[in-house]
Structure 1
């Protein structure tokens, strides 16, 4: 499908990845699953980008995986490209926010859960449909969902394939905020604006530690960065002087 694609726009220090698949409610094709890690590699290496927003085109987040690709998906299990894309999104070094409108189902929910934060319009609907399709949800995906919402809520979603509304999704911890649709874009701008203005040393370290990707040696390295960078001195000085801090730390180049 030539019109099924992921597009990227960068505004200031925030990159927005948009899921587009007209006519299929933005279902993810195999080509789109393959495209996502490539885009993320590029954006992670871009120093000017400090946060990433994932959203869907035309009022729908993502209705899941395109079932026209079912045979290839069935043959791969946890080694499939959808899981690889999800894992790459979860490991993205910078903060990620899912901005959700409309359907967020199956592979769409998989991607939203892999983001750090989920901010949704009140028309959002969430579902995990493998039991309705005779599929086994990938193990890494299932565990990530259970860590987010707890075992009982994850079992309910997986056992029933029931669609839940945004209010219930917030109640079980699946989403962080629910807003009227006409306020979603402004809130996403406000939230990402706050994130990119904060010390990136603090933000990136917090994400890595919370996600369990920092062993003791890495945590010591982060503390060393605090001592060497001057970020804390600048932040405390700015606080006392009642001015915005001028944070300058950026992640060292990788590779």
Structure 2
């Protein structure tokens, strides 16, 4: 008699959410604003936030009055990345899935993590990149690791001069975040430096390498972003949608999508390697450990 794998899996869904609205949604003058709303934890991304963000993107797409979508963060930072240590970390909580992968929460071994990250990270980001309406990321403060994915799926990035960008996950033995757009957001040599060192990239440097479209003061960030959005909103909807589709298609012909598939596999090989070496898929780093490492990077950059 054979037992199914799921008989040996115990769900540990003990997440405690600090808010019922991890993403705020509003519309004014043809512009939808989606605001990441976990400021207590610097807008760290748990599944609750990710699925709420997907629902808000869907709402904006379905609303014919919305011409442009702006994504911003509440509090001191745009996003500190994936949630790897708050009370709201919910990797074992099942959600009504938006992508193609099965429920990960009752699966054994690497199947659990692989299915979750296909759904919540790589799959979601690809969906958002293909939204038929222009999207603008309004970035201030920290944009770290998973935060990069949220900014990079947007068509344009407006950053304040106090913003910085960072992907420190090589410290975990992992080759960058799941939505691996680094060589497309900056040239390959700069991408290697960015990942090899784990150092912070200033908003000015990000603008110089072409990752950021517009660099403004913190005081001007909101007005500059919405002025840009208002100008785009005056263009015909179909023209914008086709232009976005055309440029995304050219990127994919250059290998962006297939490259991400390959790196996603290496990303999960790294998780498996960490698990074999230390019993921890993150290589022994928790939220506090990464915060200490990021503080060292901050001191180094000053």
TM-score category (smaller protein): 0.7 to 0.9
Residues 128 and 153 in structure 2, CA contact (< 8 A), matched pair in contact too: yes
CA distance in 1, matches of 2:226, 2:55: 25
Residues 158 and 212 in structure 2, CA contact (< 8 A), matched pair in contact too: yes
Aligned twin of 1:250: none
Counterpart selection for 1:76 from 110, 114, 127? 114
Per-residue deviation at 1:200? 1.9
Per-residue deviation at 1:85? 2.2
CA distance in 1, matches of 2:211, 2:171: 21
Per-residue deviation at 1:80? 4.0
Residues 35 and 136 of structure 1: CA distance in aligned 2, closer, same or farther (over 3 Å):
farther
Residues 46 and 91 in structure 2, CA contact (< 8 A), matched pair in contact too: no
Aligned twin of 2:248: 211
Aligned twin of 1:7: 24
Aligned twin of 2:35: 18
Residues 131 and 161 in structure 1, CA contact (< 8 A), matched pair in contact too: yes
CA distance in 2, matches of 1:56, 1:180: 16
CA distance in 2, matches of 1:111, 1:98: 8
Residues 83 and 197 of structure 1: CA distance in aligned 2, closer, same or farther (over 3 Å):
same
**Consecutive unaligned residues in structure 2, runs of 5 or more:** 1-16, 93-103, 105-109, 252-302
> In angstroms, what is the RMSD of aligned CA positions?
2.3
Aligned twin of 1:228: none
Aligned twin of 2:203: 166
Compute the TM-score of the two structures, normalised by the length of structure 1: 0.77
Aligned twin of 1:199: 236
Aligned length: 213
Match status 1:152 vs 2:189: yes
Residues 167 and 177 in structure 2, CA contact (< 8 A), matched pair in contact too: no
Residues 108 and 138 of structure 1: CA distance in aligned 2, closer, same or farther (over 3 Å):
closer
Per-residue deviation at 1:211? 0.7
SS in 2 for 1:9: strand
Per-residue deviation at 1:213? 7.8
CA distance in 1, matches of 2:152, 2:140: 15
Match status 1:111 vs 2:150: yes
